[in-house]
Structure 1
Amino acid sequence: MPTNPVTITVTGHAERSFMPNRCVVRLNIAFDGATRAEAADPAAKSAAALAELIQELENNSARLLRRTSIDQVQHTRYRPYHPQGKKLPWNYRSTATGSVTFRDLDAVVSFVDRVSAIEGVDVGHLQWTLTRKAHAKALTRVRDLAVRDALAKAKGYTQSLGCKRIEAVALADPGMLNPGQRPDYGPPAVRMMAASAAAPDSADTGRPAIELTPERIGISADVEARFEAS
């Protein structure tokens, strides 16, 4: 057993997964035509239908939505490529993007099904997230587990040395105890989206019903700790 106090420096790591409590649905509207009107008119019609659907959800007393946005329809034109360099007639394109953030994750399936039925509207992707409050609470829990992991390591070393007493003298984020020797720790891992898996045909639409399965969000934390054992 050492006669003088022994300094023990360790890292602690922990990671846990949490169910998301928000879902951001990214939307795209796109139409092409030989004239500006052929692209612009249906794009405006679909954008109006999308806005009407979103307004219906915003008026729901259950407060299904947290935030919504629909950009103005943008109009562009381009000439198709020709291998011999011939100047082809202009093609016109009208596009718009939008996003809808859901508080109620159970409402996402119905919305995706309904919005997909609007001509020219595509669901870009689903972004499963945690609110800032929920993320902070989850991160606090994971950091606590990381500290416990560091303490468990230090106690293991203490027992190996035959020491009876251990005392924490420093606790820090990675790299703070040993500047210039920071391990390659990355930010908390966030895995978004798990969608699909067709279910039986819907009786209302005749299309396959949509089944969405949010993927749990992984959060990790690392700490450095210094102890004195004797």
Structure 2
Amino acid sequence: MTNDLPYGTTEAPRLAVCGEARLEVDPEIARIGITVSARGTDRRSALDDLTRRNNTVLELVKSYGEAVEKVETGAFSISPELTRHGRGERIRAYHGRVHITAELSDFTALGELTTRVADLDLIRVDGPWWALRPDSPSHGEARRQAVKEAVQRAREYAEALGTRLAALVELADLGAENPAPYGGPPPAAGGMRMAFAAEATEMAPPLDLEPQRQTVTAQVNARFTMHPPEL
């Protein structure tokens, strides 16, 4: 008959430990946000101007080829600017905006692209936000180190009692046994924000953007049985 009690028995005492790992690694990708703006005295002229500027930005971003891994268009808006006229209001102008997100893996191209985009009229650039890919080997390495640390910690506890480990009973990610309610996506790791807005006429030198190191963590709960110590 098996024993399911969390504290084990005198013949097979249980030992529970937590293994942790923390790595500092270089980022693999960087994202920038681009806001394209336009203004016109009527809706059609504002829309035409916005379309032209948007196409210019997309062509520039895509000209970097494989350095740009992903380009996505987000929110689009065109809205009137109202002004007081006597007792009422009238439309003074129309403002249009398009938001674009670009993801790059070549950080040398990132600095040059950021500068060139920010050098265009009525353009705002936010970022960069540094990150690792979801399938980055760094995540696996952190998990392996966390497991090794759990085993080493358990061995040290057993040795302190003059005995040794017998078997692994359970290995689980921290929180896997009692998962917390989902509260939305976590914040981007290593987030860093800068903003550029330009209406320049001369080409600016490329920005030297220093990648921000990323922190990768892993935690596991491990339970072992050990040979009965002689106390």
| TM-score where L is the length of structure 1 | 0.75
Distance across 1 between alignment mates of 2:106 and 2:206: 19
The alpha carbon displacement at 1:19 in A equals 1.4
Task: Give the letter aligned to residue 226 of structure 1.
Answer: R
2:88 counterpart residue number: 87
- Change in 2 beyond 3 A, CA 1:195/1:34: closer
Kindly provide the CA deviation profile for residues 61-113 of structure 1, in whole angstroms up to 9, marking residues without a partner as x.
xx222122346964221425x6xx95332131111121222231210000011
Would you say the 8 A contact 1:189–1:219 is kept in 2?
no
2:55 to 40, 48, 52: 48
Would you say the 8 A contact 2:170–2:222 is kept in 1?
yes
> 1:92-107 counterparts in 2 under 5 A?
92-107=94-109
Once the two structures are aligned, what percentage of the paired residues are identical? 23
Q: Comparing 141-150 with 63-72, which one deviates more in the overlay?
A: 63-72
Say if 2:39 is the partner of 1:32: yes
> 1:136-175 counterparts in 2 under 5 A?
137-175=137-175
1:118 to 120, 124, 128: 120
Task: Give the letter aligned to residue 191 of structure 1.
Answer: G
What are the ranges of 5 or more consecutive residues in structure 2 without an aligned counterpart?
A: 1-8, 196-201
Kindly provide the CA deviation profile for residues 205-228 of structure 1, in whole angstroms up to 9, marking residues without a partner as x.
3x4652212212222111111111
The alpha carbon displacement at 1:142 in A equals 0.6
- Change in 2 beyond 3 A, CA 1:26/1:189: closer
2:111 to 100, 109, 112: 109
Distance across 2 between alignment mates of 1:189 and 1:229: 41
- Change in 2 beyond 3 A, CA 1:115/1:165: closer
- Change in 2 beyond 3 A, CA 1:88/1:40: same
2:12 counterpart residue number: 5
1:200 counterpart residue number: none
Would you say the 8 A contact 2:39–2:49 is kept in 1?
no
- Change in 2 beyond 3 A, CA 1:35/1:151: same
What are the ranges of 5 or more consecutive residues in structure 1 without an aligned counterpart?
A: 197-203
The alpha carbon displacement at 1:38 in A equals 5.7
Q: Secondary structure at the match of 2:100?
A: strand
Task: Give the letter aligned to residue 156 of structure 1.
Answer: E
1:201 counterpart residue number: none
The alpha carbon displacement at 1:115 in A equals 0.6
